[in-house]
Chain A
Amino acid sequence: SQTIHQWPATLVQPVGSPLSLECTVEGTSNPNLYWYRQAAGRGLQLLFYSVGIGQISSEVPQNLSASRPQDRQFILSSKKLLLSDSGFYLCAWSVGLAGSNEQFFGPGTRLTVL
């Protein structure tokens, strides 16, 4: 069966520090991968998605970046965190273009920037 891992689960970082969040998927090949941010009490904001290794689409201009160095690995990074980067970060995967295929979400990373 397929599983998705995210780490760390929680993170507290000072403003201006770098960030690296990792997401890995097991049990599937060539998944579509997604990063979302969920601010407190708000909905999901799509940050990046990837349909293959090295292919990244950015949905919102910001100080975050994403990379996909391997088929089932998706990394969210920042060189300098802002207070506004605080939130709950969710990684998700789906398979192919077939209309019925849903997204599967990881457990999330709670990021607090102080």
Chain B
Amino acid sequence: GNSVTQMEGPVTLSEEAFLTINCTYTATGYPSLFWYVQYPGEGLQLLLKATKADDKGSNKGFEATYRKETTSFHLEKGSVQVSDSAVYFCALKSGNQFYFGTGTSLTVIP
């Protein structure tokens, strides 16, 4: 079956620290992979995506690389800001269905 496992939170970092949020997946076929971000009280927004092996998605300083050999799609950012505080969801798409991880809460302190 299809599933996504992501790093449990919450994660607290100081401003300008390096961020990694781990995400691994199980899928049949060749899924597309996504990272979504949810700010308090809002819906989810697409952060970045990758559609095939070795693709790197990037946006707003965040990056993630589709690693088929390790079935991973880890989210990274070199220097986090207070405004990056949010919940981050890893997801995969197979056919019409999307499968989400449980979310990782990130708090960045000044």
Contacts from A to B (Cβ < 8 Å): 32, 34, 42-44, 46, 49, 51, 90, 92, 94, 97, 99-108, 110
Contact = CB atoms under 8 A, between A and B. Distances in A.
A107 B34 CA distance: 19
A49 B89 contact: no
B95 A43 contact: no
A107 B102 contact: no
B32 A43 contact: no
A42 B89 CA distance: 11
17 contacts: A42-B102, A43-B101, A46-B98, A97-B95, A100-B32, A101-B93, A102-B93, A103-B34, A103-B44, A105-B36, A105-B43, A105-B45, A106-B43, A107-B42, A108-B41, A108-B42, A110-B41
B105 to A, nearest CB: 8
Interface size class for chain B?
20 to 34
Interface of B: 30-32, 34, 36, 41-46, 49, 51, 89, 91, 93, 95-98, 100-103
A44 B95 contact: no
Given A99-B51, A106-B43, A44 B96 contact: no
A109 B25 CA distance: 29
B32 A103 contact: no
Given A90-B43, A108-B42, A99 B30 contact: yes
Contact of A43 (B42, B45, B89): B89
Contact of A44 (B34, B89, B93): B89
Contact of B102 (A43, A51, A104): A43
